[in-house]
Amino acid sequence: MRLSSLILFLCLCLLQPTLAQKIGQNKSFRPFISIDEIFKKAAKENKPVFFEAFLPTCSHCIAYDKTLSLPTIKTYLDKNYHAYQLDLSQRENNAFLRSRKIFIPSTPSFIVFSPQGKVWNIEPVGETTNSVNGIIQLLNAAKSPMQNQAQLLERYGAGERNKENMISAAYFTRLSLDTLKNVALVNDLVQLIKPEEFEGQTSFLLIQKVMMDDDNALFQHFITHLKNYEGKFDSLEVRQTAENTIMTSLYSGRARTYSPERLQRLKNGLQAIGLKPQQIAARFIYLEVLIDLDKKWVEQAVTRVKNYYGGKAIPEKEKEFWCKLLKKPGSTECLLP
């Protein structure tokens, strides 16, 4: 056997167990049944529901699966929860999460519902909590009437202003896709942060993991002082964080009410992270046309689209899209050439 072939053979042999490794049915969890049946059983027994959202070949999920399969965890889950694994490689499971407005940024994630089906806690988990004690501590807090994220959000709504609890509640609003509550919470959190703390780790993590809107003093400091943050944190993460927050703001349902000044500020932010003018224009053109049409400025919308293509012929598919918006009043005739 030639040396190159031998090396390839040995590599494949070494890789084979890793490639073949994936998660099967963990005995600590109940066999999966329909979602409706899960919640019917939970309500009947008055037990909360715990889903471990995972991907079968995710390395972190495989590491957690070993811990979750330990007898101590099985005993704990049997006593305290209706526990199921939620395989996110299955389309119907993702549809279930969307129907409940749950966003999973990474796997594995622990999702806990009340016996009546209310979301109590959404927790992406990492290496630091991958132990029997770490998992039990997380799940105890997730079902606690005083510590679960939904309860912390209610306490905020009742006037509590504990910074640590507010961060947890704000993270919950991001993962439960509640933009309005997230914006309110983050704005109140920013008021509790001293300007000299804006460039600290907690503030950066708040922008990176929690924030869904650019319209606050912390983000405005961040986007205008990117070099300072790049000197303290990974530069790629800093720029990705800036882009994510700007784009979340841009795709918000409230974006059509933004002032021209705010739209320009968002554009300036994208320019600050290195996007070229045409790239920026591509992200804004649809929103700006919708804003023009909301104001009945049809001619301005038409001009805006023409200028975007620089006087060149609009590709057929793209023209078909724009013509659905830009028609003569009372007619099907397109206003674009």
Instruction: Render pLDDT for 240-249 as a digit per residue (tens, 0 to 9).
Output: 999 999 999 9
Q: Across the chain, where does the E strand assignment appear? A: 49-54, 82-87, 109-113, 119-124
Cα separation of 101 and 258, whole Å?
25
pLDDT tens track for 95-106: 999 999 999 999
Round to whole Å and give the CA distance between 259 and 214: 14
- Tokens encoding 249: 């703001």
Residue 19 exposed, middle or buried by CB count within 10 Å (0-12, 13-18, 19+): exposed
pLDDT for position 8? 41
Whether pLDDT at 12 is above 60: no
- The predicted pLDDT at position 296 comes to 94
* For residue 135, pLDDT beyond 70: yes
274 band by pLDDT with thresholds 50, 70 and 90: very high
* Distinct helix (H) and strand (E) counts, the chain: 17, 4
The topology (CATH level 3) of 20-144 is Glutaredoxin (3.40.30)
pLDDT of residue 31: 95
Taking residues 8-21, what's their average pLDDT? 43
* 190 contacts 218 by C-beta, under 8 angstroms: yes
- What pairs with residue 139 in β-bridges? none
Domain boundaries defined on the chain = 20-144, 159-264, 276-337
Per-residue confidence band for 229, with pLDDT thresholds at 50, 70 and 90: very high
Evaluate if residue 266 carries a pLDDT over 80: yes
- Cα separation, 47 vs 79, in Å, equals 9
> What are the two backbone dihedrals, phi and then psi, of residue 112, each rounded to the nearest 5 degrees?
-120, 130
**Minimum mean pLDDT range among 11-20, 79-88, 189-198:** 11-20
pLDDT in tens, 286-334: 999 999 999 999 999 999 999 999 989 999 999 999 999 999 888 889 9
Task: Answer yes or no: are the C-beta atoms of 87 and 26 closer than 8 Å.
Answer: no
CA distances from 82 to 79, 110, 137, 234 (A): 9, 13, 17, 40
Q: How confident is the model at residue 3 (pLDDT cuts 50, 70, 90)?
A: very low
Mean pLDDT across the stretch 55-62?
94
Asked if 152 contacts 181 with a C-beta cutoff of 8 angstroms, the reply is: no
Q: How high is the pLDDT of residue 325?
A: 95
Element (H, E) at 276: none
Sheet of 49-54, strands arranged across: 82-87, 49-54, 109-113, 119-124
Q: Which residue matches tokens 């918006």? A: 325
Give me the phi and psi of 310, to 5 degrees please.
Answer: 60, 30
Confidence at residue 118, expressed as pLDDT on a 0 to 100 scale: 97
The pLDDT value given to residue 21: 62
Q: How far is CA 78 from CA 75, 81, 204, in A?
A: 5, 6, 39
pTM for this entry: 0.85
Please give the angle made by the CA atoms of 277, 281 and 283, to the nearest 5 degrees.
Answer: 125
For residues 230-242, give the mean pLDDT.
Answer: 97
Residue type for position 318: E
Residue 10 has pLDDT above 70, yes or no: no
| pLDDT higher than threshold 70 for residue 210 | yes
What is the tens place of the pLDDT at every residue in 171-181?
A: 999 999 999 99
| pLDDT at residue number 264 | 98
Distance between CA 210 and CA 177 in Å, rounded? 11
CB atoms within 10 A of CB 5: 9
